[in-house]
Amino acid sequence: MLQLQVLRQNAQAVKDRLAKKNFRETNLVDEIIALDDERKKLQLESDNTQAKINSASKEIGQLMAKGQKEEANKRKQEVAAYKNTLQPIADKLSETEKLLNEKLVLLPNLPSEKVPAGKTPADNVVMREGGNKPTLPSDAVPHWELIKKYDIVDFETGAKITGSGFPLYKGKGARLQRALIQYFLDYNTAAGYTEYLPPLMVNEATAYGTGQLPDKEGQMYYMQADNFYMIPTAEVPVTNIYRDEILKEESLPVKMTAYTPCFRREAGSFGADVRGLNRVHQFDKVEIVQLVHPDKSYDVLEEMVSHVENLLNTLELPYRILKLCGGDMSFASALTYDFEVYSAAQQKWLEVSSVSNFETFQTNRMKIRFKGADGKSRLLHSLNGSSLALPRIVACLLENNQFAAGIKLPAVLHNYFGALSIS
RNA sequence: GGAGAGAUGGCAGAGCGGUCUAAUGCGGCGGUCUUGAAAACCGUUGACCCAAAAGGUCCGGGGGUUCGAAUCCCUCUCUCUCCGCCA
């Protein structure tokens, strides 16, 4: 959620930046400012009336103590009159506040200066590539055939148990998931991230905090009986750890990592792009989240990018890093880098991580603040990224490292997996 | 699931209808003393709305009673104790 004061300070600049994100309803900005003016006016009226009620009530107490009942009764009538005028003001005030909030949450975050212009994924800017694309044998096959050959993921049985898009990992496939999770968490904690294992279902307030509600309701699985949502990413419960808190400046930066399964309904997705592990309803992911001083967030963003990049390097996978253009960025982000790995048999780039700076967009909703040296509270900046999402990493590992007798695994996984290869 | 108790400032904890602008203790910050520190003593110490002042709001959330609510009533959420069930 954008800060009102930012809109008020320079409405035109806000509109220009929203346009960069392909956001067309810029008249919302003016509507919001008008509503805020209205709100202030009503607030003042309400405060003044309330002040009169308060002082009259105090007098009544004093008059009663002195036994001056008649005078007290006169005051009571005055208060009753004030309350009659207060009621409609208070109603209008809360109505205005509600409307203001409803409109405010419709505005996406402002893209940072560094965001390239553009409308579609084709306009994203490739920052750099790393790793080597392998030369595959002529009989190389995509991962959905490899998983059958080695019997490590069973989609049919997953569909029997739950439904399509719920993979059942088996034997070495299950072991590989565990090895990757363990390795990623070790890698993150070695870099100073504190490990968490959060709840996998969240309440409404939490889903609202990171921006899944009110808009993206349909993307989450919903438990009607208890009004809980299955998390689409660990970002949701982990960032909410500090909701409504004011941190001490010396406790910054807050660095957190968590492994969780992620649940996504992704209604309407089908076709070749979703074959095999490319897109599923339940998948494993290790996430990193940071809460940092506003002056440092863009340095931290770069630091997180190289953190993820180094992790991909150790997996010996070919990758590229994209800076997303305005039109392809998420609603909440101010600047996003996507990581893609090259899946050699599909001859496709697959997104495995997205690292973003949200600036104050999330922390404003969640009221995550810190107290500066001047004693004033300010909003922190929040950032997060995948480190990493598993299914597409697995797809890529399988496809790129296939040879006649099996799948070679990168050295860094040997101990975690307990073998050099899958056969 | 059943019965009971509770939710107050960073923490502990008093207040149970009108100087609550919330006692007191701890912690934090500043000072006196000290070479420095500790101890002792003195002072200070939350958040939010408003450009600011004035003013207002906030004692788990929401609603109500009352001229007036931290205090009384209803409701929801959460915590604790006991019982039941359970990996």
DSSP string, A54-72: HHHHHHHHHHHHHT-HHHH
Nucleotide with C1' nearest the A245 CA: B47
Cα–Cα dist A74/A97, whole Å: 35
**Within 7 Å: CB of A371 and strand B?**
yes
Residue nearest B56, CA–C1′ metric: A47
Structure token pair of residue A26: 């810029």
3-state DSSP assignment of residue A31: helix
Burial label for A61, CB within 10 Å (0-12, 13-18, 19+), is: exposed
End-to-end C-alpha distance for chain A, whole angstroms:
50
Low-confidence ranges of chain A (pLDDT < 70): 267-273
The distance (Å) linking the CA of A236 with the C1' of B79 is: 24
Structure token pair of residue A211: 């921006």
**Within 7 Å: CB of A372 and strand B?**
no
- pLDDT (0 to 100) of residue A374: 72
Structure token pair of residue A352: 């495995």
Residue type, A332: A
A221 contact partners, CB below 8 Å, separation of at least 6: A229, A230, A263, A265
373-392 on A, CB < 7 Å from strand B? 375, 377
Beta carbons within 10 angstroms of residue A173's beta carbon: 19
Which single residue is written with the structure tokens 């960032």? A239
The distance (Å) linking the CA of A94 with the C1' of B62 is: 14
The distance (Å) linking the CA of A241 with the C1' of B8 is: 23
| A115 contacts A329 by C-beta, under 8 angstroms | yes
**Which structural domains are found in chain A, ordered by start?**
4-104 (1.10.287.40), 121-422 (3.30.930.10)
Which single residue is written with the structure tokens 């009753």? A80
